[in-house]
């Protein structure tokens, strides 16, 4: 799917389901104008970050499509869904007047066998210090970066 097709596809699905923008607005407590903007790919009035992703998730649930896939597509095509920490960290540093010398770096993917024995030491030195959650996050991040 392309960026231009994102909103119109959601609108088409919503209309096929017989759901009005006002029904979604009432269910989500988000204005119908904001939803109309999403369907037109107009994100000029949209919030950013977690709020934008939460709104898209609510919309997807309301029209009966995969919320995770819809949020992923939104993040791929629109800057409002940006999940990277660097923008936030730089903004906070600017607020307090701190000169920031930092780059967001994603460590290499680490495969961890979660079925291993409880006290077993990692076999590869690259695995040291990475939790299973961190490994999953790293793999997801690399997947999104490739898209």
- Count of CB atoms situated within 10 Å of the CB of 52: 21
Q: Does the pLDDT of residue 61 top 70, yes or no?
A: yes
In a domain, 94, yes or no: no
The rounded distance, in Å, linking the Cα atoms of 15 and 51 is: 25
**Could you report the per-residue pLDDT of 27-47, keeping only the tens digit for each?**
999 999 999 999 998 878 888
Q: Which domain holds residue 43?
A: 3-81
Q: Report the CATH number that the domain containing residue 25 is assigned in CATH.
A: 1.10.260.40
Question: Position of tokens 């979660």?
Answer: 114
pTM value is: 0.56
Cβ contact 25:32 at 8 Å: yes
The CA distance from 45 to 79, in Å, is 12
Does residue 70 share a domain with residue 18? yes
């Amino acid at each position: 799917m392309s960026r231009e097709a994102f909103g119109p596809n959601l609108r088409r699905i919503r209309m096929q389901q017989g759901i009005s923008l006002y029904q979604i607005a009432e269910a989500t407590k988000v204005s119908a104008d904001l939803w109309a903007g999403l369907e037109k790919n107009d994100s000029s009035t949209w919030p950013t970050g977690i709020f934008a992703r939460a709104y898209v998730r609510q919309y997807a649930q309301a029209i009966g499509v995969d919320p995770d896939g819809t949020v992923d597509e939104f993040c791929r095509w629109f800057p409002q869904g940006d999940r990277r920490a660097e923008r936030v960290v730089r903004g906070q540093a600017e607020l307090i007047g701190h000169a920031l010398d930092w780059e967001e770096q994603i460590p290499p993917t680490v495969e961890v066998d979660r079925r291993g024995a409880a006290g077993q030491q990692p076999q590869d030195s690259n695995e040291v210090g990475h939790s299973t959650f961190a490994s999953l996050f790293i793999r997801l991040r690399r997947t999104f970066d490739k898209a």
